[in-house]
């Protein structure tokens, strides 16, 4: 069966959707010879890209993603890849790209989480920096700034501590709001 690509016209730009009726296509994350050069700019609405946490050693190829025509196809492909390579994590993105969180994520049994700034660090680190800086500043304030070093260090600790605490609060509140909105949609 021969399938023809679907052509979408957006303004003066014509976009080809080659994944309709096909299994998948491999797209480099960035290809300076292609126009447009970024992977998500070569996708159309309704297509989904599977991104991999690592690539097979010695492959020598540039980082790439696999673009599929539907979310179900992308999920199936991601499950198949994580079953084949248990140390792999696959994230599925829509045509919006990295500007939004992944649509879905699949992790193999052997996948080890990458270290990063998690909620525990944001809370503990933020609290230690903020309240430690506050205590140092108060100590120097009570001595009429005779020592000067506690206030100098304390004021520099306050800002990063406050940023970590506010960031964590915003993330928690946004997640609660999203969950509440999702339950209201289901019940209402």
pLDDT digits (tens, 9 = 90+) for 65-122: 999 999 999 999 999 999 999 999 999 999 888 888 899 999 989 888 877 778 889 9
Q: Are residues 64 and 17 in the same domain?
A: yes
Q: Are residues 103 and 160 in the same domain?
A: no
| pLDDT at residue 3 tops 60 | no
β-partners of residue 51 are: 65, 91
- The range of the structural domain enclosing residue 89 comes to 6-107
- Does residue 134 form part of some domain? yes
Query: In this predicted structure, what is the pLDDT of residue 10?
Result: 33
Percent of the chain with pLDDT over 70: 85
* Residue ending a domain, choose from 85, 107, 129: 107
Give the count of domains, the chain. 2
Query: In this predicted structure, what is the pLDDT of residue 58?
Result: 58
Q: Are residues 103 and 13 in the same domain?
A: yes
Contacts of 154 (CB under 8 A, 6+ apart): 132, 133, 134, 135, 136, 137, 138, 139, 140
* Residue ending a domain, choose from 49, 79, 107: 107
| pLDDT at residue 20 tops 60 | no
* Residue ending a domain, choose from 84, 107, 130: 107
Q: Are residues 127 and 157 in the same domain?
A: yes
């Amino acid at each position: 069966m021969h399938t023809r690509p679907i052509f979408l016209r957006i303004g003066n730009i014509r976009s080809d959707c080659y994944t309709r009726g096909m299994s998948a296509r491999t797209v480099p994350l960035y290809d300076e010879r292609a126009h447009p050069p970024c992977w998500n700019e070569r996708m159309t609405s309704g297509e989904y890209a599977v991104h991999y946490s690592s690539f097979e050693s010695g492959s020598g190829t540039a980082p790439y993603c696999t673009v599929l025509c539907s979310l179900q196809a992308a999920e199936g492909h991601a499950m198949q890849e994580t079953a084949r390579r248990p140390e792999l994590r696959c994230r599925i993105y829509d045509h919006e790209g990295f500007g939004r969180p992944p649509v879905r994520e699949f992790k193999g049994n052997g996948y080890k989480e990458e270290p990063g700034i998690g909620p525990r660090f944001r809370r503990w680190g933020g609290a230690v920096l903020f309240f430690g800086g506050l205590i140092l500043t108060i100590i120097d304030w009570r001595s009429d700034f005779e020592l000067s070093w506690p206030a100098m260090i304390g004021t520099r600790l306050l800002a990063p501590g406050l940023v970590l605490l506010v960031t964590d609060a915003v993330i928690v509140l946004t997640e609660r709001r999203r969950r509440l909105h999702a339950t209201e949609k289901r019940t209402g």
